[in-house]
Chains A and B, each alone.
Chain A
């Protein structure tokens, strides 16, 4: 018997294969020679990530379906995969010196990071509910471990445990939903689901509705949408900072890709039902994330709530479910990747060994201690708040336009108001950095790799504002894709 894997199948998973191969090299190297592995595994990882990006470049503009429709390569998935890989690459740059500072083991860290990335990439192209579940598990299990990676630090342990328990619970809910959908429609293929939904009378099938609802809950947990967000602050705070940077952007990107694919493409005929739900979730998420973020004095928790709020904004695009909305999702994800990882990079650099120094007061007068760092952080804060001249502004404009086109005026008002609210706590950080003089001026030591990461993030944040057209070709192609 031969295993029927066609050429298209290999093309569809080639990015994933490159990264899995890199992960194997890193893991084996660590097993055989820890000394060498400690020195070079981050660079091997980076090479793998860059290789993945190159392979995505080759896939650009092409459409493939592999493994009997289980995986799909289209512009949407390629763009989101790029966002994920940018996130991974920057996280690796942050990790190099962080792991040394915290005296954590190196080899397995990069192996798990890469495998988690592979899970995200798979999730992005999954067009089958089984694959969605499996790749979700793949990325989550690696992240549970990475969250608890600093196992000598109780906060990290606690975060890992919480994430694990709630994450497995949400995975169970997701599987139950998948089972119900299968029971109602007899298929787990998203294309098959879309087709089955055209049958008369099926839309009011309660089993289908229950299944779709449960799947929504499972994915909502991963994107940290209210009311499934309660794990976010604790996990983001307790996890090692580079891991938080990674999971706050890449997981979100992958989970949103899956959510979009499930809702907009597979369940589009059911949009009458889920539209209201997504509307409510998006509004709640934006309001809750931004309001609670105001009260935070811990920068990691603040960024965690900010990340919840941003999930709400992206949900607006999902809710609009029109051409512009779908196009704006990858753009928003890419912009968010750079600005959020940039912010976390600064946090990583400022914190001291053992994740000390995460209070807002630790940023007092940062401008006098390290002007470049302060300016970058200020830029990221502007971008997160959606203030020009940053990528965050452009992304939000796209998003609001999508909402206008979809006639979601109520949601648009919520989004605008919460954006204004959010300016308060983002700008507070800027004020603290620039307006307050520090009691003592001690220079902040910034490792080279982290500098590189921050500069890349700054450049990209500005670039996406100045030349949004450079990505227009990308985003325009998104709508043309089929399932």
Chain B
């Protein structure tokens, strides 16, 4: 139990600090790489929760495929200069945004500290094979078959949409 807590805290620190690094990095390439680290930390958190299948799908899809495309685009556009010029359009929001964000953060912190931990239910025994592909697949194709199919439609829309917006027309 203690070991689990320690691992969780370490991963949590990695996840949060890399998320901060994503938005604080001046160089977009660094931002993307921190995002990769963030995704890894999340995947490891899933592993701690015994959700192996989700963990490795997370790595495969996000860290492996999507972030490579992100890197590709960021490097291709070479945004470093463009971002500098964008920064001071609305000077007030540079201070206002973090301030309001802090307000929200404090609010959420209060919310969590005030009563959440008291109500966390005891961890229950996991069923056999929890988090592996078979039970996940069973759930996806039985109870959650509709969300699953709707997701496919969403992906179709995204595909058609990106082609519509990007394709060169004669």
Contact = CB atoms under 8 A, between A and B. Distances in A.
Whether chain B is bound by chain A comes out as yes
B153 to A, nearest CB: 6
B103 to A, nearest CB: 13
B110 A206 contact: yes
B138 to A, nearest CB: 7
Contacts of B141: 1, 3
A184 to B, nearest CB: 8
Interface string A66-80: 111011000000000
A67 B157 contact: no
A365 to B, nearest CB: 38
Contact of A141 (B107, B114, B161, B169): B161
Nearest to A27: B160
Contacts of A112: 157, 160-161, 164
A134 B144 CA distance: 12
Interface in A215-259: none
Given A131-B146, A206-B116, A144 B161 contact: yes
Interface string B92-135: 00000000000000011011101110010100000000000000
Interface string A138-159: 1001101100110100000000
A67 B143 CA distance: 7
Where chain A touches its partner, the secondary structure class is: helix
B146 A70 contact: yes
Interface string A352-364: 0000000000000
B100 to A, nearest CB: 12
Contact of A70 (B147, B153, B162): B147
A135 B149 CA distance: 11
B80 interface: no
B24 interface: no
Where chain B touches its partner, the secondary structure class is: helix
B123 to A, nearest CB: 13
Given A70-B146, A135-B150, A148-B165, A141 B158 contact: yes
B151 interface: yes
Contact of A145 (B108, B111, B138, B157): B157
Contacts of B23: none
A473 interface: no
Contacts of A149: 164
A183 B116 CA distance: 9
B156 interface: yes
Interface residues of B, number: 32
A20 B153 CA distance: 9
Contacts of B87: none
A183 B121 CA distance: 10
Nearest to B144: A130
A370 to B, nearest CB: 33
Contacts of A131: 146-147, 150
B165 A151 contact: yes
A118 B143 contact: no
Contact of B151 (A134, A186, A204): A134
A67 B150 contact: no
A206 B114 contact: yes
Interface string A96-124: 00000000010010011001101000100
B166 to A, nearest CB: 9
B85 interface: no
A138 B157 contact: yes
Interface string A175-195: 000000001101000000000
Interface of A: 1, 3-5, 9, 13, 20, 27, 66-68, 70-71, 105, 108, 111-112, 115-116, 118, 122, 130-131, 134-135, 137-138, 141-142, 144-145, 148-149, 151, 160, 183-184, 186, 204-207, 209-210
Given A108-B160, A141-B157, A141-B161, 15 more contacts: A70-B147, A108-B163, A112-B164, A118-B153, A138-B150, A138-B154, A145-B157, A184-B119, A206-B112, A206-B114, A206-B115, A206-B116, A207-B111, A210-B107, A210-B108
10 contacts: A20-B153, A70-B146, A70-B147, A105-B169, A108-B164, A112-B157, A135-B150, A184-B119, A206-B112, A210-B108
